[in-house]
Amino acid sequence: MSDMTLHHDHGHGDEHGHNPAQAHQFENMEQQTECYITGMWTFLVTEVMFFGALFVAYTLYRWNYKFDFYNAHEHLNVMMGGINTMVLLVSSWFVVMAVQGAQLGKRNQVLAFLAGTQLCALTFLTIKYFEYSSKFADNLYPGVGFTTNPEHVHHANLNHAQIFYGFYFGMTGLHAVHILVGILVIGFLMMKWYRRHPSVVNDFVYTEMVGLYWHFVDLVWIFLFPLFYLQANPFPPSVGGH
């Protein structure tokens, strides 16, 4: 009763001649590429929701405690945050060039630009390290040891400042973890390119997926930086901030 016929173009006949990068579950390379790209975007959706929940919570508290958050944020180092923003933007450009290299099959271009990306990522973490150390030196990490010196939080309510720094360390820390994962993944990808592994050399999609991930990590920072470092003064003009 079932009107099924068989598709003779596929199946065992051509499974010997296909691209070695093609996995067994796919009928052809286009299907594989589409699956990988769709899968990566779907994964990024989950990442957006992951960070999104924290962004919502942060927004809520910043709305509730806008004066305290503004005062507390003045202790953040805009210069370091700004440089880090530039570093990540440059790294994203490197990734774009690396993906282009992968599409054109230019191994040297891929390796050079991925190395540049790694350099940016390490620079970012180094600057982050100095930023965090200066906050730790002022006892600005949440917990029983949180600073009692009003100067450190620019006269914000100490409890609310603690929540602010909770979000600061929580969200930038989670972002830094993503940078670390990125370094590992890019390192792995570079190794495969270096060894001319067929999965990456014959198929640019792996490089593109890593690129998408890196752009996402970059983009999270593009939101984190203004929301934490560049707060507008919420005080009425007559009162003034600090």
Partner 1 sequence: MSATATTTGQIHEEPGGGKETNYLNVTHTIKSWLLTQDHKRIAILYMVSTAFFFLLGGIAAGLIRYELTSPAGVMLESETYNKVFSAHGILMIFTFLVPAIPAIFGNFVLPLMIGARDVAFPKLNLMSWYLYMTGGSLILWGILAGGVDTGWTFYVPLSSMYSNGQVTITLVGIFIAGFSSITTGINFVVTVHKMRAPGMTWFRLPLFIWAMYATSVIMILGTPVVAVTLLCVIFERAFHLPIFSPELGGDPVLFQHMFWFYSHPAVYIMILPGFGVISELIANFSRKRIFGYHFVAFSSLAIAGLGFLVWGHHMFVSSQSMYEGIVFSLISFLVAVPSAIKIFNWTATLYKGHIRFQAPMLYALSFMGLFTLGGLTGLFLASMGTDVHLTNTYFIVAHFHYVMVGGQMTAYMGALHYWWPKMTGRMYHEGMAKFAALILFIGFNLTFFPQFIVGWLGMPRRYHYYYFAPEYQPYHIMSSLGASVLALGFGLPAFYLIASLINGPKASANPWGAHGLEWNIASPPPTENFLEIPIVTDEVYDFDPTSEFEQEAGTHRIMHGDAPGLQTKDGDKKPMEDK
Question: Would you say the C-alpha torsion 216, 222, 225, 226 has a positive or negative sign?
Answer: negative
Question: Per the structure block, which two tokens stand in for 116?
Answer: 């540049």
Contact between 178 and partner 1 (CB under 8 A)? Answer: no
How many residues make up the chain in this entry?
242
Q: Greatest CA separation found in the chain?
A: 83
Structure tokens at 75: 């202790």
Q: How far is the CB of 148 from partner 1 (least distance, A)?
A: 14
Cα of 28 vs its chain's centroid, Å? 31
Counting contacts by CB under 8 A, is residue 16 touching partner 1?
Answer: no
Q: Which of 11, 9, 32 is nearest to 20 (CA)?
A: 32
Binding piece for partner 1, criterion CB under 8 A, among 84-92, 95-103, 135-143, 197-205 = 135-143
Ramachandran angles phi, psi of 52, nearest 5°: -55, -40
Closer residue to partner 1, CB minimum distance, 23 or 104: 23
Candidates 11-19, 131-139, 208-216, 217-225 — which segment interacts with partner 1 by CB under 8 A? 11-19
4 makes contact with partner 1 (CB under 8 A): yes
Q: Binder to partner 1 among 31, 59, 133, 149 (CB under 8 A)?
A: 31
Q: Which two tokens stand for residue 27?
A: 């009928």
- Cα-based angle 115, 89, 45 (whole degrees, multiple of 5): 95
Is residue 105 involved in binding partner 1 (CB under 8 A)?
Answer: no
Interface with partner 1, residue 150, by CB under 8 A: no
Closest among 165, 204, 171, 141 to 74, alpha carbons compared: 165
In the bound state with partner 1, the residue whose beta carbon lies nearer, of 56 and 238, is: 56
Asked if residue 234 binds partner 1 (CB under 8 A), the reply is no
Residues that contact partner 1, how many (by CB under 8 A) = 52
Q: Which residues bind partner 1 (CB under 8 A)?
A: 1-8, 10-12, 15, 23-27, 31, 34-35, 38-39, 42-43, 45-47, 49-54, 56-57, 60-61, 64-65, 141-144, 157, 159-160, 162-163, 166-167, 169-170
